[in-house]
Structure 1
Amino acid sequence: MDPFQNPYMSLPGITPEEMGFLQQATSSLNEGQQKYFFMVYTNKRKNPQDLIILTIIGFFGIAGIQRFATGQIFMGLVFLFTGGFCLIGTIVDLVNNQSLALEYNKKMAYESYHIAQMGGQSPIQ
């Protein structure tokens, strides 16, 4: 598949579910807006493999760092002060890292979509 035809294929760790969501979400954008969306989204997106690494760090150091990375500050503090719910929460996050990443990436896609809609509009003359 040509990466210029489907730039989402170049995203590291992308799942078919995420790709389908992105294609459906950007179908109403014109070509310029889609390029702008891709540029914004790639800077906001979290790679699921990176979240695995951050979760593993929780076993040996700072519990909850994966929650801080996904913008869940309160849960990150709870994990930090409780040792990742006595490591049980950290294990659950390790098992569910794909869904944690997908949830975060969907939020970022929603934000990027609105930014692309606003940024891709032609100026009023």
Structure 2
Amino acid sequence: MDNYQSPLMALPGITPEEFSYLQQATTGLNEQQMRNFLMFYSGRRKNPSDMLIFCLIGLLVLPGLQRFIIGQIGMGILYLLTWGLCFIGSIVDIVNHKDLAFQHNQKMAFESLQMVRMGGFQQPAPTTPVDNKF
């Protein structure tokens, strides 16, 4: 399959690193599994540009917001109580926002692949109406 025709390219803000990671991780999936993976993964992934916005809000308004968003509750509480580790941690997160998003997306891709491979996202079989005779 050509990279330009890959369904992974439809993900908003996908970076080359994320694309190559997902391409490698999804090898061996059939078309239905790939569709299910994309449906589950696209709902859980974070766009790097959105992560930058969360980091800026975390610096200016609510310290640790970016950590809460990606599921790092302990770090979010630490940032909240220390004003983003005296603003230094929040500034580092702004600089590394793409890495934060990529690390989160790797975890979400792994979880999504596990769901797809375990069959957690199978289409229900078509049902036929049953006559209820009493």
User: What TM-score do you get using the length of structure 2 for normalisation?
Assistant: 0.84
Deviation per CA, 1:14-59: give whole Å up to 9, x if none. 1111000001101021111111001100001011111111111122
Distance 2:18 2:98 in 1: 10
Give the corresponding residue for 2:13. 13
Distance 1:10 1:57 in 2: 27
What amino acid is the match of 2:12?
Answer: P
Give the corresponding residue for 1:68. 68
What amino acid is the match of 1:111?
Answer: E
| Alpha-carbon spacing, 1:121–1:84, altered in 2? closer, same or farther (3 Å) | same
| Alpha-carbon spacing, 1:121–1:98, altered in 2? closer, same or farther (3 Å) | same
The structure carrying a bigger helix percent of its residues is: 1
What amino acid is the match of 1:69?
Answer: I
RMSD over aligned CA atoms reads: 1.9
Gaps of 5+ in 2: 125-134
Instruction: Give the number of aligned pairs.
Output: 122
Task: Indicate whether 1:33 and 2:33 are aligned.
Answer: yes
Identity of aligned residues (%): 52
User: Is the radius of gyration larger for structure 1 or structure 2?
Assistant: 2
Deviation per CA, 1:98-118: give whole Å up to 9, x if none. 111000000000000011112
| Alpha-carbon spacing, 1:122–1:11, altered in 2? closer, same or farther (3 Å) | closer
User: What TM-score do you get using the length of structure 1 for normalisation?
Assistant: 0.90
The higher-RCO structure (CA 8 Å, 6+ apart) is 1
- Runs of 4+ aligned structure 1 residues displaced above 3 Å come to 120-123
Give the corresponding residue for 2:44. 44
